[in-house]
Structure 1
Amino acid sequence: MMIHSVKHFKSVVFAFAIGVIALSSCSKKGGDDGLVYVPPVPAGPPVDKGWAFESAPTWADEFTNTGAPLSGNWDYDTGGGGWGNNELEYYTNTTNNASVANGILTITAKKENMGGMAYTSSRMVTRNKLDALYGRFEIKAKLPAGRGTWPAIWMLPTDRAYGDWPKSGEIDIMEHVGYDQDMVHFSTHSEAYYFKINTQKTITKKIDGASTAFHLYRVDWTPFAIRGYYDDVKVFEFTNEGTGYKVWPFDKRFHLLLNVAVGGDWGGAQGVDETIWPQKMEVDYVRYYKMIEK
């Protein structure tokens, strides 16, 4: 009888413990009776394994065709409305604003009315064409010039697994505003570190001739860090703190964007020179190298 009671007591304790564990890993979803997964507490910063990258690109566009950019490589974000930054352009998906010739992709911003906006331009994306988790991205480009230009080479999450911007992250490989000629910016944004609360991780580097010559803009992205390079010189490093997605949402697929914005909160902070248009960003190539797993 005593042995039976002890066994019964142990089984009750065990069942209670399982219930506590189940409850601790789930929580009520507002508005229904379902349970949702609560992610475990992060284990801490990862170890830098010294990841390398494959020597040949897994995906590349050398822009050897003529006419429209290859539809197998590129899609477009289109429309106006300011794009969250009070920008002045309407993005199209035509060769009026994005075309390829003589081995060069040219994205052209023009002063012309469309869709209620005073300028047109292009915002090219590799979403659903190249969506990568980790790797090296290289883009060789020559930037536009003049007050009101705001070109960018950057990356956004394809799946937005952690929520809308900035929760799922952003990587800015290159940003340039024309009123601050040759000052080029590399930044990352997340829920904990982003520009609207002035905590973004960022650097500014002077590149002489950013708008008169081609320069190489690169990111090396691993589970340990995001590192930025201009003309193969490291200018930026942000390491994974291991504290979860609010700091490091960079463990999901991202895609690449190329665009030239007009005006906006940053690009138009000192006004827009209406006499300089059209302006163009030229791209010699885009290459992606897969990270070698360790």
Structure 2
Amino acid sequence: MTRVAVIARILPVLAILVWSLQGVSRAENALTLDLSDYELTFEEDFDRLDVSAWGPGTRWIAHTPWNGDFGDAAFADPRPGFPFTVKDGVLAIEARKDEGGKWASGLLASVDGAGRGFSQRYGYFEMRAKFPKGEGTWPAFWLIGLDRLTHTSEVDVVEHYGHFPGRYTASVHVWDRKTASKSSSVHHRVLVAPGSLYDDYNTFGAKIDADWIIFYFNRQEVWRQSTPEHHKQPMYLLVDLGVGAGWPTENTPDPSVMLVDYVKVWARED
């Protein structure tokens, strides 16, 4: 996942950060999502998990299609019992230290390195999940545009930094792959009841069309941002449990586990 702390390590120039004038919102007293004219196009209920390291032929791969890790935990090839387990229709993604004291964790992407798999232009994208508690945890659900030739288009439906139990961040990024200084990012902090992201499952969603990217928490609108031109393309899904994100990890619980009930996508019927 592309973040300021990561970009600073791998690019000579930091991306320009354009902060939303709204800045912060509370996930309450907002418009409720209406999916009455949408149809389900992707449904992952985690009754079983169809994943391989790199594909092809599986529903998920366990790495970013461009083979890039981020944060302080390497994303592991799937093996029995780690980093993914499925029980009673719930996926557990586990982050833990190996024998050498290095963090490893799990990521799922819905397309492989050749772009094979699920992606969709426009629609509503949603995850229902419960996050691990603790400083240094970094769970996320995000979307990437299929065409990365000149730009990487990214929508962070949710990323949560464990140092801040009362909020999460939603973002819209356009990463210029040739000139980093031409990149742009807009971030929005969504305030929630402290601890509520750990105590129960919540839904995190984004509805994308030609005009707006609208973000939802428990199907209540919390923010909207105009759709960049580079985002008017098919987007694929990523779910991961990162560690660090530039924050200290000495107090991060080992292990930490993210629970995902489902990932679903809808498209307008017309």
Shared fold by TM > 0.5? yes
Residues 1:239 and 2:216 aligned together? no
Aligned match of 2:189 in 204, 216, 220? 204
Instruction: Call closer, same or farther: CA 1:251–1:197 in 2, change over 3 Å.
Output: closer
Deviation digits for residues 3-52 of structure 1 (CA, Å, limit 9, x no counterpart):
xxxxxxxxxxxxxxxxxxxxxxxxxxxxxxxxxxxxxxxxxxxxxxxx97
User: What is the CA-CA distance between 1:289 and the residue it aligns to?
Assistant: 0.6
Across the two proteins, how many residue pairs are aligned to each other?
Answer: 219
> 1:243 corresponds to which residue?
none
User: What is the CA-CA distance between 1:159 and the residue it aligns to?
Assistant: 2.5
> 2:169 corresponds to which residue?
185
User: What is the CA-CA distance between 1:291 and the residue it aligns to?
Assistant: 2.5
Q: Which runs of 5+ in 1 are unaligned?
A: 1-50, 241-246
Residues 1:63 and 2:43 aligned together? no
> 2:201 corresponds to which residue?
214
Instruction: Call closer, same or farther: CA 1:82–1:63 in 2, change over 3 Å.
Output: closer
User: What is the CA-CA distance between 1:264 and the residue it aligns to?
Assistant: 3.2
User: What is the CA-CA distance between 1:179 and the residue it aligns to?
Assistant: 0.7
Which residue identity does 2:257 align to in structure 1?
K
> 2:109 corresponds to which residue?
125
Equivalent pair of 1:113/1:119 in contact (CA under 8 Å): no
> 1:96 corresponds to which residue?
82
CA separation in 2, counterparts of 1:63 and 1:99? Answer: 10
Superposition CA RMSD, Å: 2.7
Instruction: Call closer, same or farther: CA 1:272–1:125 in 2, change over 3 Å.
Output: same
Q: SS of the counterpart of 2:268?
A: coil
> 2:26 corresponds to which residue?
none
Q: Which runs of 5+ in 2 are unaligned?
A: 1-33, 52-57
Deviation digits for residues 28-81 of structure 1 (CA, Å, limit 9, x no counterpart):
xxxxxxxxxxxxxxxxxxxxxxx977544111011123xxx22442112079x9
User: What is the CA-CA distance between 1:290 and the residue it aligns to?
Assistant: 1.3
1:229-268 matched pairs, under 5 angstroms: 229-240=216-227, 247-265=228-246, 268=247
TM-score computed with the length of structure 1 as normaliser: 0.67
> 1:289 corresponds to which residue?
266
CA separation in 1, counterparts of 2:198 and 2:245? Answer: 20
Instruction: Call closer, same or farther: CA 1:62–1:119 in 2, change over 3 Å.
Output: same
> 1:107 corresponds to which residue?
93
Percent of aligned positions with the same letter in both sequences?
22
Q: SS of the counterpart of 2:152?
A: coil
More strand by percentage? 2
| Bigger Rg over Cα | 1
Equivalent pair of 2:136/2:252 in contact (CA under 8 Å): no
Q: SS of the counterpart of 2:86?
A: strand
Structure with higher RCO (Cα < 8 A, 6+ apart): 2
> 2:156 corresponds to which residue?
172
> 1:226 corresponds to which residue?
213
User: What is the CA-CA distance between 1:120 and the residue it aligns to?
Assistant: 0.8
Q: SS of the counterpart of 2:147?
A: coil
